[in-house]
Chains A and B, each alone.
Chain A
């Protein structure tokens, strides 16, 4: 009566249409293997679906990125995962309440992740500065305003070390605007009915505004994801009819 094993069956049985197709994988690999120009060497990879947000094929190194909005955390994880690639390390500093499984789904390498907690407020900036020397991506969630001196020092250090800082508070606690700000918005969730189904796919709209990387312009992209990484959304919703039927409804 209390057996909830059916959940697993549904979880595995539904194929995920958002996972990378063979063609996409090939395209991505080809692009990664291409001999790059100097400007390209200086960028960190971003998720393929996010490419239209940035003028370069990626995000310039040494930048501070803020993510905000409903779905902002997922966008932050996806950026961190892509920037870490196959060998980079990621650090999360005082990012309480992080969902590590979600981070893993979005490509954050948990085997190369350091999590720093209960850092004294006075040491926060020095710890971030020490981390970026070794770690490629630093994810932060400042809870109180960062003072101007620390922010300037960190910005210089991150630029010097060519690291990437992702602030999941959307840059609210920073004294000045971050280099790139991404605002996420979930347009639609599918898979959940009234008393049946489960959350499966969602469609996002991401708006990027940037002080430096985007020369002040706004760019927008529509993306979607299931239980894997982000993929580009093809305009109209693909999942409108994909709500799981009553065969998956509660059995007990």
Chain B
């Protein structure tokens, strides 16, 4: 058993994004990411604000809540002093995300006289750093020690801060047993387990591993190992071949962070392609930077679940260098960057990640997500969009575009499977092939050449015979409508009253016209 798991210390800075923004914990504060609460202060939590809530929901629970945007860069930069403090205890600090770090106990624990002493020391040190930022932050540290990262994380979160919680060696499975399966970071699997009547990690752990493999594939085995208090992947599954380490030298030394980031992106692409050709993926990556004066900084980044992309690695490089430059005089580099190395420290076979029973997608969504981030680095944000069902009467309202990076592509796919009921009064199918985002003026004339008008009861005064679109003039063969779209009639400022008509010209071109305030507009074409 002991061979299968690494004993870990985990340090959690509770509500780190709030602290990184420098907000007082006594006030209700929520950090918003993508219109959802990413973190909130204890005061906000008391009022019922929870992570993952929508903005409106959070504001309803706590009207006084102060909303601030999530700034991952800031979070990461402010965390640098904590890392520096921990590095005095051990060199192997693994960063999971800003506010959550872990390291193996082996070594430091013996040096400091046991897990308990080590945990206390860590809590004290980190507490001092946080107190240095603001006095009240000092008590927001949680430390957990257990076999395996997963159990250590839960151990850290077991008691309200400031706390240390030690799970004795070999007791991780027992500690995890009463916890709900929702701690597993794999929503489809968790949903399935709950439906199968396995609400706790203990119940899930009791399933024989062979059955788990047969029924749930690789993802299932990973989750099952976690529930058993083991590491997600058996440790040292594969010793990374040294040639996987990719590095580049700058000549002359790089003076700016963007330059390093740019080079790191191509370096990362090289690393990823060489790992892919070996059928590997990386769960822990070291980024090492060396300056001309020989100063080096290594940071270990842990990846779980998130698709490892070149852009993500390049961003990590930038954050790491930014953080290094922001350090105090004694620790900051004094010359240009000479070398950057990417060290895949823990590699696992790739591809197994894709064998799942509940998800038939073959990793294409990951590929598309990578493509989206790549396109955005090429042409900037706000260029890649995906359609989403919105519902509405007009042809331009039924589907709206949302930025591709703001939504989860998998969930998105689901939303289309539920075909929504058509809205009452919508123009019937077939839908027009061209819908004009900004409709052009049109003239609809009757036999005498007078503008066709719709009266207050939604009837035509005169029959249309000629349609004029800019320079072009069409004879109308047949037509139908008008169909009224009278909305927000209860609200004087938003009230809109429109009528739509389908017309077919002698040239068998069909158009959808819209009339508002006695003016006709070309809204769509059945092209």
* A99 contacts chain B at the CB level, 8 A cutoff: yes
Tell whether, in the assembled complex, residue A70 and residue B527 are in contact, meaning their CB atoms are under 8 Å apart.
yes
Q: Which residues of the partner chain B approach A104 to less than 8 Å between Cβ atoms?
A: 399, 431
* B191 contacts chain A at the CB level, 8 A cutoff: no
Q: Which residues of the partner chain B approach A200 to less than 8 Å between Cβ atoms?
A: 430
Complex Cα distance, B374 from A135, in Å, reads 13
Complex Cα distance, B378 from A98, in Å, reads 24
Complex Cα distance, B432 from A240, in Å, reads 22
* B468 contacts chain A at the CB level, 8 A cutoff: no
- Identity of the chain A residue whose Cβ is nearest the Cβ of B509 in the assembled complex: A70
Q: Which of A116, A133, A199, A226 contacts B504, CB < 8 Å?
A: A199
**A188-B508 in contact given A97-B437, A115-B385 (Cβ < 8 Å):** yes
Tell whether, in the assembled complex, residue A101 and residue B425 are in contact, meaning their CB atoms are under 8 Å apart.
no
* B387 contacts chain A at the CB level, 8 A cutoff: yes
Tell whether, in the assembled complex, residue B435 and residue A97 are in contact, meaning their CB atoms are under 8 Å apart.
yes
Count A/B pairs, Cβ under 8 Å: 189
Tell whether, in the assembled complex, residue B480 and residue A196 are in contact, meaning their CB atoms are under 8 Å apart.
yes
Considering only residues 1-33 of chain A, those with a C-beta below 8 Å from chain B are 1-5, 7-8, 10-11
* A197 contacts chain B at the CB level, 8 A cutoff: yes
* B364 contacts chain A at the CB level, 8 A cutoff: yes
State the interface size on chain A (CB cutoff 8 A). 66
* A214 contacts chain B at the CB level, 8 A cutoff: no
Tell whether, in the assembled complex, residue A102 and residue B383 are in contact, meaning their CB atoms are under 8 Å apart.
no
The secondary-structure label for the interface of chain B is mixed
Complex Cα distance, B458 from A111, in Å, reads 37
Q: Which of A7, A87, A196 contacts B364, CB < 8 Å?
A: A87
Q: Which residues of the partner chain A approach B486 to less than 8 Å between Cβ atoms?
A: 2
Q: Which residues of the partner chain A approach B374 to less than 8 Å between Cβ atoms?
A: 130
**A195-B480 in contact given A7-B425, A87-B364 (Cβ < 8 Å):** yes
A107 to chain B, nearest CB (A): 13
* B401 contacts chain A at the CB level, 8 A cutoff: yes
B146-181 toward A: CB 8 Å interface, digit per residue (1/0)?
Answer: 000000000000000000000000000000000000
Considering only residues 342-378 of chain B, those with a C-beta below 8 Å from chain A are 362, 364, 367-368, 370-372, 374-375, 378
Q: Which residues of the partner chain B approach A89 to less than 8 Å between Cβ atoms?
A: 364, 368
Q: Which residues of the partner chain A approach B239 to less than 8 Å between Cβ atoms?
A: none
B426 to chain A, nearest CB (A): 7
* A174 contacts chain B at the CB level, 8 A cutoff: no
Complex Cα distance, B413 from A109, in Å, reads 9
Q: Which of B424, B459, B479 contacts A194, CB < 8 Å?
A: B479
Complex Cα distance, B264 from A55, in Å, reads 49
Complex Cα distance, B431 from A195, in Å, reads 19
Tell whether, in the assembled complex, residue B526 and residue A199 are in contact, meaning their CB atoms are under 8 Å apart.
yes
Considering only residues 116-162 of chain A, those with a C-beta below 8 Å from chain B are 116-120, 123, 126-127, 130-131, 133-135
Complex Cα distance, B371 from A127, in Å, reads 10
State the interface size on chain B (CB cutoff 8 A). 63
**A99-B431 in contact given A73-B527, A110-B387, A111-B416 (Cβ < 8 Å):** yes
A114 to chain B, nearest CB (A): 6
Complex Cα distance, B478 from A240, in Å, reads 14
Tell whether, in the assembled complex, residue B508 and residue A4 are in contact, meaning their CB atoms are under 8 Å apart.
no
A116 to chain B, nearest CB (A): 6
**A113-B387 in contact given A70-B527, A194-B478, A195-B480 (Cβ < 8 Å):** yes
Tell whether, in the assembled complex, residue B395 and residue A116 are in contact, meaning their CB atoms are under 8 Å apart.
no
Q: Which of B413, B424, B457, B479 contacts A192, CB < 8 Å?
A: B479
A182 to chain B, nearest CB (A): 13
* B386 contacts chain A at the CB level, 8 A cutoff: yes
Binding site for B on A (CB under 8 A): 1-5, 7-8, 10-11, 70-74, 77, 87, 89, 96-105, 109-120, 123, 126-127, 130-131, 133-135, 186-189, 192-200, 202, 225-227, 250, 252
Q: Jot down 27 A-B pairs with beta carbons below 8 A, ordered by A.
A: A2-B486, A4-B425, A5-B425, A8-B424, A8-B425, A8-B428, A97-B437, A98-B434, A99-B433, A100-B435, A101-B398, A101-B399, A101-B429, A105-B430, A110-B387, A110-B416, A111-B415, A114-B371, A115-B386, A123-B378, A130-B375, A134-B364, A187-B508, A189-B526, A196-B480, A226-B430, A250-B459
Contacts A113-B387, A114-B385, A127-B375 known; list 15 others, CB within 8 Å: A1-B458, A4-B424, A74-B433, A74-B527, A99-B433, A104-B399, A114-B368, A114-B372, A114-B384, A126-B378, A130-B374, A134-B367, A186-B508, A227-B430, A252-B457
